Amino acid sequence: MSLFWRIFALNAVVLGGATALLLWAPVTVSVPVVLTEAVILVAGLVVMLVANAALLRIGLAPLDRLTRLMTTVDLLRPGQRLPEGRRSETAELIRTFNAMLGRLEHERATSSARILLAQEAERRRIAQELHDEVGQSMTAILLSLKRAADEADGPLRDELQQAQEITRGSLDEVRRLVRRLRPGVLEDLGLISGLTSLTTEFATHAGLRVLRRFDTDLPALDAETELVLYRVAQEALTNAARHAEAGQVEVSLHHTDGAVVLSVVDDGRGTGIAREGAGIRGMRERALLIGATLDVTSQPPAGTQVRLTVPLLRKQP
């Protein structure tokens, strides 16, 4: 039965019941209407309105659920669907919406994958240019300053040595940026070495204590999965340093039944509700790239936990 006929039938039942009561009930209406008759008529009207509202609420409940899902659906949290129910116009609408949602999730995942791959390629290009052009130029400047300082005397030598220190600090910063843009340790030595180098550098520059708990018997992971794990850990550490006001961060990577789990937990102030900023949204997009699940919890005073669960059902090389 279509939605139109269901609503028509509900109203027909209510109006038919009211007509039957007027025809066969021993109730008459006087002219002018007395108080008792007015009370009975008003009570009957209220009963009809309540019955009609209840029946319409039951009939239109699937549309209400569909509206709520439309207003709250998030393509970065795939899998949100409504039960379709039996064959009807409403069920067909829900099936169409579920199918459209599936297509949107697929297209979002595909476009995010292209964007992230292009982003990584651009990072590698910038890192290479920084290393080859800026790094080498600053190294040449540093050597020239050293030669000039060796030949100079008095106050000029002190100024040249000070310029050397400034240049050396800038060169170290360029090298650090190159490592952030292109994690060479990850590419050359693997995930554990890459995360170890990342956390060591983070502890040095952020001034936070970092605890590492890495399993040594991790299964073989493809390069794309390792890069996602590395970038999520990098973003979580950055958030802990910028926003959490933490003193300690624990980074763990372990293997469970059918999954590899990365966890980054800080002892900061927490927010009660994890803020879905650009950093967390970026982590969710990276998680979708490899079919992983990202959970972010932030409860004061327990700090914030970022947990990335990577299923091992994907084909590994």
Rounded to an integer, what distance in angstroms lies between the CA atom of residue 37 and that of residue 31? 10
What would the pLDDT profile of 219-278 be if each residue is shown by its tens digit?
888 888 888 898 899 888 888 887 777 788 899 999 888 889 999 988 877 665 555 667
Q: Residue 278: which domain range?
A: 186-317
SS3 state at 104 = helix
What pLDDT sits at residue 270? 67
The residue ranges of DSSP E strands in 29-120, in sequence order, are none
Judged against a pLDDT cut of 80, whether residue 156 lies above it is answered with: yes
Contact call for residues 257 and 279 (beta carbons, < 8 A): no
Angle (CA) 127 131 133, round 5°: 110
The pLDDT of residue 39: 76
Q: Which residues contact 210 (CB under 8 A, 6 or more apart)?
A: 199, 200, 202, 203, 248, 249, 250, 251
When pLDDT is averaged across residues 113-132 and rounded to a whole number, the result is 77
CA distance 34 to 39: 9
Instruction: Calculate the CA 285 to chain-centre distance.
Output: 7
3-state SS class at 262? strand
Residue whose token pair is 């009570």: 43
Whole-number Å distance between alpha carbons of 51 and 102: 38
pLDDT for the residue 316:
41
Same-domain check for residues 190 and 316: yes
Interval 284-290 mean pLDDT: 84
Residue 148 within any structural domain of the chain: no
Nearest to 286 by CA among 243, 246, 226: 226
Residue 170 falls within a domain, yes or no?
no
- Number of Cβ within 10 Å of residue 107's Cβ equals 11
Please report the pLDDT score of residue 36 as a whole number: 74
Domain assignment present for residue 134? The answer is no
Per-residue pLDDT band for 54 (boundaries 50, 70, 90) equals confident
Co-location of 99 and 204 in the same domain: no
Asked whether 284 and 309 are in contact (CB, 8 A), the reply is no
Given 73, 106, 139, which residue is the final one in a domain? Answer: 106
pLDDT digits (tens, 9 = 90+) for 290-306: 888 888 887 666 778 89
Domain boundary among 106, 122, 143: 106
Can you tell me the mean pLDDT for 125-154?
A: 81
Tell me if 292 is assigned to some domain: yes
Same domain membership, residue 75 and residue 201: no
In a domain, 30, yes or no: yes
Alpha-carbon gap, residue 161 to 142, rounded angstroms: 10
Q: What pLDDT sits at residue 126?
A: 83
Q: Is residue 127 domain-resident?
A: no
Residue 101 located in a structural domain = yes
Give the CA count within 13 Å in the CB-facing half-sphere of 174: 20
Pair of tokens at residue 258: 């059918």
Q: Are residues 94 and 208 in the same domain?
A: no
- Whether residue 92 sits in one domain with residue 210: no
Only one residue has tokens 């469970």, namely 256
Question: Are residues 197 and 289 part of one domain?
Answer: yes
- CATH number at 292 reads 3.30.565.10
pLDDT digit string (tens) for 59-89? 677 777 777 777 777 666 666 777 766 666 6
Find out whether 308 and 293 touch, Cβ atoms under 8 Å.
yes
Q: What is the DSSP letter of 273?
A: S
Whether 121 maps to a domain, the answer reads: no
Q: What average pLDDT is seen over the chain?
A: 78
Mean pLDDT along residues 169-178: 82
176-213: pLDDT as tens digits: 787 777 777 887 788 888 889 888 888 888 778 889 99
Domain boundary among 88, 106, 124: 106
Domain total of the chain: 2
